[in-house]
């Protein structure tokens, strides 16, 4: 197989064992200015490379066949990126829109600072999943590590498995849904009632993530107690 070849004149295949990563990302970036080009891409032999398909700004479909390193699909906008493997630190960091899907596990800080779009992890996500999320939706089929949704401001984090310690520490207005066991809640994060409207939005998120077989009524909802918005001396020990 050559470094880059068209498959059925529909999918552009790039083999990173032959083609430099910088060249791949540049070609994907060039499509942001409405330049005519392939809309579907398949990336072979990523071999843990960092920043694969990072900074996209076009309606593309990118399939990555293998494991990736740091910041895969970071700063993505509009594109649909799927990793057929595991992902390293900072997956979909600062996601703006579009979707990022990982068939395996994700390392720490998945979806950090994300402002929109949907991140789906079919395995587990490590510590600080959704840290400082600002509008992103994150669905994890497995479990998440400690300090997930730390300082989460907006958006929704759905965990079908368990959550580590200090979930939602210093949370603002994000909504957290966990089906399994929560090791501990962070400062100002409390359990809240799962009402019908929450079950409905959770069902929609699960369907979008391809997890329509999961019952939304099995989850518990967590959010902010709204006690840390301004400094209060009586709450000093919680800061």
pLDDT of residue 8: 47
pLDDT of residue 33: 79
Q: Is 204 helix (H, G, I), strand (E, B) or coil?
A: helix
Q: How far is CA 42 from CA 15, 165, 176, in A?
A: 8, 38, 33
Determine the Cα angle at 73 with ends 69 and 74, to 5°. 95
With respect to CATH, is domain 4-238 assigned 3.30.429.10? Answer: no
Over residues 88-111, the pLDDT tens digits come to 999 999 999 999 999 999 999 999
pTM score, whole prediction: 0.92
Over residues 177-187, the pLDDT tens digits come to 999 999 999 99
pLDDT of residue 3: 46
Q: Is 209 helix (H, G, I), strand (E, B) or coil?
A: coil
Q: Are 38 and 59 in contact (CB under 8 A)?
A: no
């Amino acid at each position: 197989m050559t470094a880059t070849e068209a498959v059925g004149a529909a999918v552009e295949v790039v083999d990173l064992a032959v083609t430099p990563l910088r060249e791949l990302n540049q070609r994907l970036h060039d499509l942001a200015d409405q330049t005519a080009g392939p809309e579907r891409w398949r990336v072979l032999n990523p071999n843990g490379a960092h920043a694969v398909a990072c900074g996209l700004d076009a309606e593309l479909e990118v399939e990555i066949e293998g494991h990736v390193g740091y910041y895969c699909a970071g700063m993505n906008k509009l594109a649909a990126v799927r990793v057929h493997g595991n992902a390293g630190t900072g997956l979909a960091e600062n996601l703006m829109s579009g979707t990022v899907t990982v068939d395996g596990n994700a390392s720490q800080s998945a979806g950090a600072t994300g402002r929109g779009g949907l991140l789906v992890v079919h395995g587990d996500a490590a510590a600080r999943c959704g840290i400082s999320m600002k509008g992103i939706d994150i669905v994890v089929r497995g479990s998440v590590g400690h300090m997930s949704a730390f300082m989460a401001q907006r958006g929704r984090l759905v965990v079908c498995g368990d959550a580590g310690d200090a979930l939602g520490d210093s949370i603002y207005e994000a909504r957290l849904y966990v089906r399994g066991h929560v090791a501990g809640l962070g400062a100002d994060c409390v359990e809240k009632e799962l009402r019908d409207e929450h079950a409905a939005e959770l069902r929609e998120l699960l369907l979008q993530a391809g997890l329509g077989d999961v019952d939304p009524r099995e989850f518990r909802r967590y959010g902010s107690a709204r006690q840390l918005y301004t400094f209060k001396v009586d709450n000093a020990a919680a800061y």
